[in-house]
Structure 1
């Protein structure tokens, strides 16, 4: 009969094999002054943990990194199309010729595909690419959420078919343009592993978040605007801010170690929603 102590020892060794990086990766972490400690193997990630750009340089491109990264880039591209299209319908009365729900389902399927690739890869070879897998599994959720907000924008257009004009709209259009530029730069940074450009996206989100919060505060204090007009503006500001936040999270994967994804490099949130 196998003793409880023996089972615990086996579990500990298994945990060590699952959580401890392969020797080549352990050497890379040591070179970066990363001390590792997991159960039974003597390795732990500390503050100098590597970011995604470093990891992609260290690991040979595997099917996981190739296919899952390509899927994320394609999802970003589709999300960008959805973003431009939904805002055109809502803000400029463009004809609704695309099925936003079908586009969103494409993002959903992409997220599922990335998760499946990660699960299959780690099930077969858990010692390879574990950290990039964590990055990809996290940011693919941010990309998928962008599609959800684009659906929300189209649904706003259904409730407010008039062209958006009047108070606050010029400011909101400026925010929209800022987010569109952030989208371009996030895609470029992610495709090219450009940490400097990604950092600029994070900084611009922090400024944009403050702008959106200021506009929302002014709307809350508004005495002259009818409720319907105020609600449509407040929701539009909110959705633009959230798309920006998800782009910032994707960009942060090129700047921050895994445990600080979505946060400023010092680990603090950059707007009051987080």
Structure 2
């Protein structure tokens, strides 16, 4: 896993547009807001903490998939899975506390940037929850997910999602719109593949236990991809459209 580059003190905004990020600036793009995050010390600290959330959930996802595929023993990662999940939750609470404290002293100037952070940290926390669900799936079902005809498509989907983590972190941290669009396209393709696989499982003549385990696995992989999609989408959308990126895709998947 790539280490996140630190946000340096001497980094400056790429082009902060004060009018665009005012309280009335509903067409604000995240690129300008992230320039603010990188430039201002309190916001920069929050951004660094958010990148830690992505790094930790990436580890959780990788470890959980390896346990599911029987390439890593459960007891080797169980303690750290739950430890990192708690750390991710604490990061979310910490960022929220810092936002409230920051806005107490800066009641107007940084509201849009703080709204963006509030939104994406929620997505990162949900990614952690689903990674924990993936691990618990391995402990709940004594199903050999390391073999059978569904091994290859499920493993391929997991690998595709794992490749999105570092890209999502970098796209958000450096407001890389081209990379964000690439992540969005890839995550939507993953979601379509998950839906297709679930439809196949519904019509397949599998034992109930296997069908449930495989369906949950596909569902959790899809939700991880969707939340990474939300984070990437925030790079290329306006503040008022945050959290709505996948509503039109699947209204039954909203949380």
TM-score range, shorter chain: 0.7 to 0.9
Q: TM-score, normalised by structure 2?
A: 0.84
Work out whether residues 57 and 127 of structure 2, in 8 Å CA contact, stay in contact via their aligned partners in 1: yes
Deviation digits for residues 191-235 of structure 1, max 9, x if unmatched? Answer: 32211101111111111111111111111111x210011111000
Q: 1:217 to 1:255 in 2, by over 3 A?
A: same
Quick one: higher RCO (CA 8 Å, sep 6+), 1 or 2? Answer: 2
Distance between the aligned counterparts of 2:36 and 2:119, measured in 1?
A: 20
**Correspondence for 2:171:** 189
Distance between the aligned counterparts of 1:219 and 1:195, measured in 2?
A: 36
Work out whether residues 90 and 161 of structure 1, in 8 Å CA contact, stay in contact via their aligned partners in 2: no
Highest CA radius of gyration, 1 or 2? 1
Is the deviation greater in 212-221 or in 161-170? Answer: 161-170
**Correspondence for 2:43:** 65
Q: 1:44 to 1:184 in 2, by over 3 A?
A: closer
**Correspondence for 1:92:** 70
Number of aligned positions between the proteins: 234
Q: TM-score, normalised by structure 1?
A: 0.79
Deviation digits for residues 107-166 of structure 1, max 9, x if unmatched? Answer: 010000000000000012212211000000110011011111111111111123443121
Q: 1:157 to 1:127 in 2, by over 3 A?
A: same
1:263 CA displacement: 3.9
CA RMSD, Structure 1 to Structure 2 (Å): 2.1
| Shift >6 Å, 4+ stretches | none
**Correspondence for 1:17:** none
- Which SS does the other structure have where 2:166 is aligned? helix
Q: 1:154 to 1:212 in 2, by over 3 A?
A: same
Distance between the aligned counterparts of 1:27 and 1:83, measured in 2?
A: 39
Q: Unaligned 5+ residue runs, structure 1?
A: 1-24, 37-42
